[in-house]
Structure 1
Amino acid sequence: MANRNFDVNIDPSWIKKYLRKIILGLIILYAAFSAIYTVGPEEEGVVVQMGKYNRTVQPGLNFILPFGIEKIYKIPVQRQLKQEFGFRTSSAGTRSDYVKDGYRDESTMLTGDLNLTDVEWVVQYRISDSYKYLFKVRNADKTLHDMAEAAMRQIVGDRTVNEVITVGRQEIASSVETLLQQYCDEYENGIRIDQVVLQDVNPPDPVKPSFNAVNEAQQERETLINKAEADYNRIIPRARGEAQETIELAEAFALNRVNRAKGEADRFNSLFKEYIKAPEVTKQRIYLETMEKILPKLGNKVIVDEQGNNVLPLLNLDTKKGGTEK
């Protein structure tokens, strides 16, 4: 079989022409991808041109100059962010898992009465000004972390260990929130503090049993004091009421006796005046009134005359009035 040689002649200009088109197409495609950005609904886009702030764009589809001339930073201004201190969340869910090892230096603090305590807390915040967040402070998140730790150490250092662990937790969280916001305003980092939450406050592990024993004793003491105050509030008012009642009864009795005495004195005076006017009549009237009171109280009655000759027994006269014989 005879060999046949085929000569293929390719025009170099044709290759250059299509190669240019391919390169141009790739450049156009890269420019399109690098010039079109989508900003999420919870974000703002900060556009930097040649390393200098240029503008801020709102959520949606946005265009910038390609080839790295402009660069866009997406800042989650509508999202609540948080930083954890003394622990980290390893997995979040219905039952979250936390990691403590490696973060004890953040949470170990010295109180105002020179006691150590372990404070774990969370700072919840939002980015209120994306320009300040990016350009006023270098690494704003790390700076916020350092400021929050400094604020917590300052507030805890002004209080006793009992205040930190028991009654003063809410007040400490509020004070740290206020102080941390002041720091953010001074640094102009564009961050607004939403809330500071104390997660867990405990004494260090080596002294925890002793501290818990002291705390239980204090709680028992408070319980006894509250019980004593409850008994006091129950018994003392009742005793005061009974005393007041006795006083009022005595005053009423005294007033009654005085009024009766005055009435009897007035009655005696009126009788004496009548007696002066007609002594015999008054004597007779008093005698009759007295006998009217005495006779019904007697049992069998016998009436005799002055000489004792005639005897008139009055038997069972009280039965007519429904009384009994005495």
Structure 2
Amino acid sequence: MAWNEPGNKGNKDPWGNKSGNDKGPPDLDEVFRNFSKRFGGGKGNGNGPKVSSFGLIIVLGIAIVVWGLSGFYTVKEAEKGVALRFGQYIGQVDPGLQWKATFIDEVFPVNVSTVRSIPASGSMLTADENVVLVELDVQYRVTDAYNFLFSAVDANASLREATDSALRYVVGHNKMDDILTTGRDQIRRDTWAEVERIIEPYKLGINIVDVNFLPARPPEEVKNAFDDAISAQEDEQRFIREAEAYARAIEPKARGQVQRMEQQANAYKQREILEARGKVASFELLLPEYQLAPEVTRERLYLDAMQEVMSGTSKVLLDAKNSGNMMYLPLDKLMQKNQADSKPRNVSSNSTTSSSTNYGSSSNTSIPLDTRPTRGERQGRN
């Protein structure tokens, strides 16, 4: 039985009215008609409400103002905006306060000033079939915001894969000793060039600023042995540097000695040449004199030669004429005796000094003062 059917004793209204005479729920037409009157609507004609054009203009104006205000946005100083209109690229937006058409344009800001980094590491096989743990850090900056966002699905992931591939390629073409010690800088530069070569066709819109090749290390199982090998190589380099320093210290001294010996040799050469020229000049001056007086010149030459020879010795042997005895004249002893006699004697001394000289014979033998052979003897000898 319906709630408003006659005979229903309870006359229960589902909206809470207990009496059948109470009003039912509000009419929707009446509600809409009242809403239209508030915005200046006219009277209804029984077929529905009639909304005025003035109300629609107000609603439309409010909507336009809200839409226009929602289009303002700000691009930061370190960013570049990529603008799309209905999904199509229309250009880049500079930093500052900007406006876009909401629901029509989209702007994606990209930081183009910050230096970003991507690490790469792993166990890699070297050219001499050794395993080494390598770590690398690639630093880059975004140069083209549009290519960075839309040239690849994920530019960071693409760069990470390119870095890993380049690092494995370079490590695989170098020996482990070079990777651990002296060849690290060359490996860093080769890896840098290889990464740029790989990402160039993809146009990721990035520029690699630097590549940091962190110290490589061998596997933990053989770390002690490799530490010893590295220490030996460092000692080798140290010894080489010390040897080079010693060579640089000795070389100037050796060059100085060479120059000094050359100068001495040149001086000796010049002295001998000058002495020879002097002797030649002396002989040339002596020759005319000898031609004029041969005997006198020969006598004079003999005397000069004997004087030069005898001046260099302190002992003289005398062949006494017609005696057959060779007399020894110790001139050095005589000179020492003369020097001792010339010194003042010490009166307080209790000892007396005596000296005797043996002339080679106990007999009183006269010593001829003129030891020069006569002219006839020299001629007979000649």
> TM-score w.r.t. structure 2 length?
0.60
1:194 corresponds to which of 193, 209, 213: 209
1:72 aligns with 2:122: no
1:124 aligns with 2:139: yes
1:272 aligns with 2:307: no
Q: Which residue of 1 is the match for residue 117 of structure 2?
A: 82
Determine which structure has greater relative contact order: mean sequence separation of CA pairs < 8 Å that are 6+ residues apart, divided by chain length.
1
Distance of 1:216 and 1:252 partners within structure 2: 54
Bigger shift: residues 123-132 or 26-35: 26-35
Shift of 1:189: 1.1
Q: Which has the higher strand share?
A: 1
1:40 aligns with 2:76: yes
Shift of 1:205: 2.3
For the residue of structure 1 that corresponds to 2:199, the secondary structure is: helix
Distance of 2:282 and 2:256 partners within structure 1: 38
Shift of 1:61: 1.6
1:61 corresponds to which of 97, 109, 113: 97
Contact 1:165 1:202 survives alignment (8 Å):
yes
Q: Which has the higher helix share?
A: 1
Equivalent position amino acid for 2:280 in 1? A
Distance of 2:89 and 2:249 partners within structure 1: 72
Listed one character per residue, the Cα deviations across residues 164-217 of structure 1 (whole Å, up to 9, x for unaligned) are 222222222222222222223221111111111123322222222211111101
Distance of 1:113 and 1:293 partners within structure 2: 84
Would you say how many aligned residue pairs link Structure 1 and Structure 2?
272
The within-5 A match list for 1:121-200 is 121-200=136-215
Distance of 2:220 and 2:187 partners within structure 1: 22
Instruction: Tell me: CA distance 1:223–1:270, structure 2 relative to 1, closer, same or farther (3 Å).
Output: same
Distance of 1:25 and 1:189 partners within structure 2: 44
CA RMSD of aligned residues (A): 3.9
Bigger shift: residues 138-147 or 242-251: 242-251
Contact 1:184 1:192 survives alignment (8 Å):
no
Contact 1:35 1:64 survives alignment (8 Å):
yes
Distance of 1:58 and 1:240 partners within structure 2: 69
For the residue of structure 2 that corresponds to 1:200, the secondary structure is: coil
1:224 corresponds to which of 239, 263, 268: 239
Instruction: Tell me: CA distance 1:269–1:55, structure 2 relative to 1, closer, same or farther (3 Å).
Output: closer
Instruction: Tell me: CA distance 1:290–1:171, structure 2 relative to 1, closer, same or farther (3 Å).
Output: closer
Shift of 1:275: 2.3
Distance of 2:255 and 2:177 partners within structure 1: 38
Distance of 1:206 and 1:231 partners within structure 2: 40
Distance of 2:176 and 2:58 partners within structure 1: 73
Distance of 2:294 and 2:250 partners within structure 1: 62
> TM-score w.r.t. structure 1 length?
0.69
Distance of 2:293 and 2:67 partners within structure 1: 142
Q: Which residue of 2 is the match for residue 253 of structure 1?
A: 268
Shift of 1:12: 4.2
Distance of 1:189 and 1:122 partners within structure 2: 18
Compare CA radii of gyration and give the structure with the larger one.
2
1:262 aligns with 2:277: yes
Contact 2:181 2:230 survives alignment (8 Å):
no
Listed one character per residue, the Cα deviations across residues 236-261 of structure 1 (whole Å, up to 9, x for unaligned) are 55345435533542443244234313
Equivalent position amino acid for 1:245 in 2? R
Q: Which runs of 5+ in 1 are unaligned?
A: 86-105, 298-324
Contact 1:184 1:191 survives alignment (8 Å):
no
For the residue of structure 2 that corresponds to 1:113, the secondary structure is: coil
Contact 2:141 2:208 survives alignment (8 Å):
yes
Contact 1:184 1:190 survives alignment (8 Å):
no
For the residue of structure 2 that corresponds to 1:178, the secondary structure is: helix
For the residue of structure 2 that corresponds to 1:202, the secondary structure is: coil
Equivalent position amino acid for 2:109 in 1? K
Identity %: 31
Instruction: Tell me: CA distance 1:27–1:142, structure 2 relative to 1, closer, same or farther (3 Å).
Output: farther
Instruction: Tell me: CA distance 1:287–1:110, structure 2 relative to 1, closer, same or farther (3 Å).
Output: closer
Distance of 1:23 and 1:204 partners within structure 2: 74
